[in-house]
Structure 1
Amino acid sequence: MAPDIRLLILPLPDFALLPFGAFLDKLRFSADDEDYSRQRYCSWTLGGLTGEPVVSSSGAVVQVAAITDSLALEGFDYLVLFGSRNAQATAGLAPRYKSLLKRAARAGVKLVGVDNAVFLLAACGLLEAHRVVVHWRHETEFRALFPHLQVLREQLYCIDGARITCAGGTAAIDLAVALLSEACGRARALKGLADMLVDETRDSRHALRSLEAGAGQGRQVQRALALMRHQMGARLSIERLAAELGISRRQLDRQFQASHGMSAKAWWLEMRLQQARWRLCNSSHGLAQIAEEVGLGDASYLGRRVRQRFGCTAQALRKAAHCGVPNNAVQ
């Protein structure tokens, strides 16, 4: 009996283990009638450009099979890529992976980018005219690199024809359920969720409560925080942001003082500086590019703000991260 769905799974160097393991285990539960891990109803192959083991960002190692030119890609329904936390490094893999990905697309295989693998698909020119979902932490960076692509805000995943993108994390479970539902039916797709201690699958447009402002904060503050995340790189004034919420700046500041102990402008600056610190520690982008991405003027201004907030230079922050110093050790 041929499986209902066949997947070629490629963990990229330094891939995140959580979405990879979550996605693969969901396939395993749905693949068999019992819990024997037999690939009956769905099958998968773990592949790589070479047969060398692939190391995850947590240090766990996965053995993969080498994908050779003789591999019949037509035998797969999906090619699923799992990206690393370093979006720029993942995009930089394009020269190595472009030939394989384009060959798969020509063979009618649907391409799936999980986590920052979406940067690789975009860098290979394989997301043109498609809607894209990106992890919220990397949305500003993605928009800066690929401004012509349509990014869907705060979605878990998007199935857009032959191109599928997923924000990563546990959203990989929800994406797996969606793909399995189409191929194997809803009942088989949901099999094993209880074993995974998952209550229910989530819709692609599910709003994460963890991204909300919190139970003690008003709806206007929640909406303001969402706008701040989405408009991080824009030169949007607090007055304009308040106007989009239908309130005055004074009202917005009062709500932020009540919930955060500071003005909306001060909170937005803190949000931008924290994002800039993350970029410094997890990318090789220059200070000027990071300043543009987070809406903090030029390199000189960002450098001054970083020094004021964290008590050291941007170079020192980056060096500390590369030397393995915990991020919270530099405040």
Structure 2
Amino acid sequence: MNGENGVRFLLIPLNNFNMLPFGGFLDKLRFSADEADNSQQRYCSWKISSHTKGLVVSSSGIPINVELELCEVQLGNFDYVVFFGSRTAIESQQQAAYYRSFIRTVAAKRIPIVSIDNACFTLAELGLLNRHQVVVHWRHHSEFKATYPKVVVRDEQLYHFDRKLISCTGGSAAIDLAVVILQNHVGQTRAEKGLADMLVDENRSMQHRLKSSEQGLYRNRHMDRAASLMQENLEQTITVEQVAALIGISRRQLDRLFQQKLGVSARNYWQELRLQHVYWRLTHSGHDLARLADEVGVRDISYLCKIFKKRFGITPGQCRRDSIA
């Protein structure tokens, strides 16, 4: 156990942070911090900070009040600094400037930094993740890989430990990560305390594969695995043949499965995932089409425009204009 109040956490929610990972992580600390359900900070403790005092508003519009400004933080009082990212990648990137000096000081003091949800974009924007391995929420895989090629993205993991850097994909995985961190300081029993109260069955391992993902609807382990690999490799760093080989079947068998279940070939299914990604990015970011084409491995922008219009009935430009109208 660390210090007078056990293991100590500094929690930093960025503007427009997602409430689920923040609340899940914090509530897990609360349950492990004391006997019964008294919410006293005995075995672990926490403070919430930001670059300014006052209200930090979550993506759901619910604010939390911050009374500790970064300039007032005594880093010697904390064992972990935990960042909770904004709802969108671009918001997380834009806030990097507020934390540049602070994060460099934290890194220099070798205090472990925890990146949850899109906070990975904040840290990567500052160059802190270069030559590190991280996990990224599946929806942002291609965007992150294209933006920060010096960072290694670990696929199919909920969280990852790399030296003094810990990353988490977000959502309820923040609870799983909190348990693992706490185990190293207060033991497994206390780390898992309160999971039943939170209606969590068990702590998931970092390699846990989500049964609730949309790919899981196929109820076929080969298709589920193939669809997962395709989702994580929208930039086509691997081929359909390699996908089939990775799951232990032939390309012909893989196509037969997709035809039977969905009426399309594996290649056409992969293209649909890429086009859906471009559509989502056009409506949720300001990046140009060249950048989005790179994210899905299309080198010819005119070809991307052609297949996009064929699929959605509008051009990429019209799609973006409609989204901001």
Q: Secondary structure at 1:202's aligned position in 2?
A: coil
Report the Cα distance in structure 1 between the residues aligned to 2:54 and 2:301, rounded to whole angstroms.
40
| Aligned partners of 1:132 and 1:158 also within 8 Å | yes
Report the Cα distance in structure 2 between the residues aligned to 1:209 and 1:43, rounded to whole angstroms.
33
Q: What residue identity is the alignment partner of 2:47?
A: T
CA drift of 1:178 comes to 0.8
Q: What residue identity is the alignment partner of 1:297?
A: R
CA drift of 1:214 comes to 3.3
CA drift of 1:36 comes to 2.2
Q: What residue identity is the alignment partner of 1:39?
A: Q
**Percent identity between the two aligned chains:** 48
Cα–Cα, structure 1 residues 215 and 88, in superposed 2: closer, same or farther, change >3 Å?
closer
Q: 1:147 aligns with which of 140, 146, 149?
A: 149
Cα–Cα, structure 1 residues 211 and 55, in superposed 2: closer, same or farther, change >3 Å?
same
Unaligned runs of 5+ in 1: 324-331
Q: 2:132 aligns with which of 108, 113, 130?
A: 130
Normalising by structure 2, we get a TM-score of 0.92
CA drift of 1:210 comes to 2.7
The answer to whether residue 114 in structure 2 is matched with residue 106 in structure 1 is no
The answer to whether residue 164 in structure 2 is matched with residue 162 in structure 1 is yes
Cα–Cα, structure 1 residues 203 and 13, in superposed 2: closer, same or farther, change >3 Å?
same
| Aligned partners of 1:78 and 1:112 also within 8 Å | yes
CA deviation string 1:16-64 (max 9, x = no partner): 1111111111111111112122212111111110013111111111111
Report the Cα distance in structure 1 between the residues aligned to 2:182 and 2:248, rounded to whole angstroms.
43
CA drift of 1:298 comes to 3.4
Unaligned runs of 5+ in 2: none
CA drift of 1:240 comes to 5.1
Residue aligning to 1:326: none
Report the Cα distance in structure 1 between the residues aligned to 2:70 and 2:248, rounded to whole angstroms.
58
Q: 2:86 aligns with which of 71, 84, 87?
A: 84
Per mean C-alpha deviation after superposition, the further-off stretch among 255-264 and 244-253 is 244-253
CA drift of 1:244 comes to 5.1
CA drift of 1:245 comes to 4.9
Residue aligning to 1:328: none
Report the Cα distance in structure 1 between the residues aligned to 2:75 and 2:219, rounded to whole angstroms.
51
Q: What residue identity is the alignment partner of 2:90?
A: Q
Q: Secondary structure at 1:210's aligned position in 2?
A: coil
Report the Cα distance in structure 2 between the residues aligned to 1:145 and 1:168, rounded to whole angstroms.
20
Q: 1:19 aligns with which of 18, 21, 34?
A: 21
Residue aligning to 2:254: 252
- Alignment root-mean-square deviation, CA: 2.1
CA deviation string 1:283-302 (max 9, x = no partner): 21111101110123333332
CA drift of 1:310 comes to 2.2
Q: Secondary structure at 1:277's aligned position in 2?
A: helix
Residue aligning to 2:288: 286
Q: 2:300 aligns with which of 298, 301, 305?
A: 298
Q: Secondary structure at 1:53's aligned position in 2?
A: strand
Normalising by structure 1, we get a TM-score of 0.90
Give the 5 Å matches for 1:26-45.
Answer: 26-45=28-47
CA drift of 1:314 comes to 2.4
Residue aligning to 2:193: 191
Report the Cα distance in structure 2 between the residues aligned to 1:189 and 1:253, rounded to whole angstroms.
45
Q: 1:63 aligns with which of 62, 65, 72?
A: 65
Report the Cα distance in structure 1 between the residues aligned to 2:248 and 2:198, rounded to whole angstroms.
43
| Aligned partners of 2:19 and 2:59 also within 8 Å | yes
Give the 5 Å matches for 1:298-317.
Answer: 298-317=300-319
